Every structure is written in C-alpha cells, then in structure tokens.
A = this chain, B = another copy of it.
Amino acid sequence: MTNIAVILSGCGHLDGAEIRESVLALTALDKAGAKVSIFAPDAEQHHVVNHLTGEETGESRNIIIEAARIARGKIAPLSELNVADFDALVMPGGFGAAKNFSDLAFKGGDCTINPAVKTIITGFFSAGKPIGAICIAPAIVVAALKGKATPTVTIGDDEDGLIKALGGTHQSCKTEQCVIDKEHKIVTTSAYMQDDARVYDVFLGIDRLVQAVMNLTK
C-alpha cells in the first residue's frame, strides 16, 4: 500500500487550508487506493478571517484544532511526521500555506518558510519521494528547495513572476490539468489560484495530480 502524508494549514481558504482542495485531495487519494495520514502544526494561526466579510476577527485559533474539522479528528502534530514512513507528500493550498506555513502572503519572493515545513519538504525531496502541491503550495515547495533545485511548477498563470522570484520555473496550466516535473518528482495544479474556478475542474486537476504522484512513487 502507498502511504501518503497530507499536511494542512488550518480550515478555510483565507486563514488556513483551502477546504475544497483538502477534501478533494483526500477523495482522489482514497480513489487511487492510497493510505493517508494527515498532519498539521500544533500552533496558533497567523490570524482568523471572517470568510463572509473577508475581515480579520481578532480571535485566535489553533491550526491543528481547526484542521481537525477537515480530518474528522484523525490528525497528528506536524512534529510527528517522519518522512521515512511515507512514499509521498501532498500539500493542499489556501492562504494558510502563505500565512501559517510561511510569510509568503506578506513578503512574496523574499519569504521565509516555517522551519518544520521546510525540513519536511526537503526531506521528501532529498529522499527522492514525490511531492504534490496544490494552488499556492507550489510556491512554498519552490521556496523551500531554493539553492537545491529549480523545479518547474504551476500556480495557473504567474503574471507577477512569483515562482521565478522564489527560484523556480513557471509553466501555465488550466485548472483541470496538472504539471508534472518528472526530474524533481514535483506535481502541481492551480486549483483555486483562479478564484472563480469551477469546483469540478478543481477536482479533475487534483485527481490528475494524485494519479501522477502515485505513479512517481513506483
């Protein structure tokens, strides 16, 4: 059985993991016959955003406690993720990746990646194990591998040159497709980088990403 680690950055696209991408990744992984373990940092979110108004609420919420809503309680702290136990890593997107896994949302091309997240990404990469990254998560992967590799990824369109600034190569891609960098074993799909993407197209893109990740584990 293929063991896949999924890491979540909260629960809600404006301050945590993009919920739909997370659920559709879990669905595609189950469809592909993978055994999935879910992890999240046991730490406070950067902030909490009211998803109806888009405004900060002033509350504080814990990343793993909120991500447990998506995981239905079956989730472990990121500190317990042992790369040796898994065949591949899958990272859904959402602003949580850019606010809780890094400061990308605030510093763009000059961002710093959370050390624990960076260690996990470089661990999978160095072990020759594939990484699937969705939405904005490809930018985190590129930034984490800066100086080690120049992967080719997609965040849909990259008009602002973010991926190049972070040290990668960008390839444009439609929502329902994915980009496969066989050399670096990195698979990416843009999902809700296009804010008005159709959810079934997002599923098709994630399903293709998961199939490619599974094939790269063989």
Contact = CB atoms under 8 A, between A and B. Distances in A.
Contact of A27 (B24, B71, B192): B24
Given A23-B24, A65-B50, A68-B52, A30 B73 contact: no
B69 A51 contact: yes
The A interface is mostly helix, strand or loop, or mixed, namely helix
Contacts of A75: 52
Interface string A56-72: 00000000111011111
Given A13-B72, A72-B192, A192-B72, A51 B65 contact: yes
Interface residues of A, number: 30
Given A11-B11, A19-B19, A23-B24, A198 B30 contact: yes
A75 B53 CA distance: 11
B30 A199 contact: yes
Given A19-B23, A23-B19, A23-B23, A51 B30 contact: no
Given A11-B19, A27-B200, 19 more contacts: A11-B11, A13-B72, A19-B23, A19-B69, A20-B23, A20-B70, A20-B72, A23-B24, A23-B199, A24-B27, A26-B199, A31-B200, A31-B203, A50-B65, A51-B71, A51-B72, A51-B73, A52-B65, A52-B73
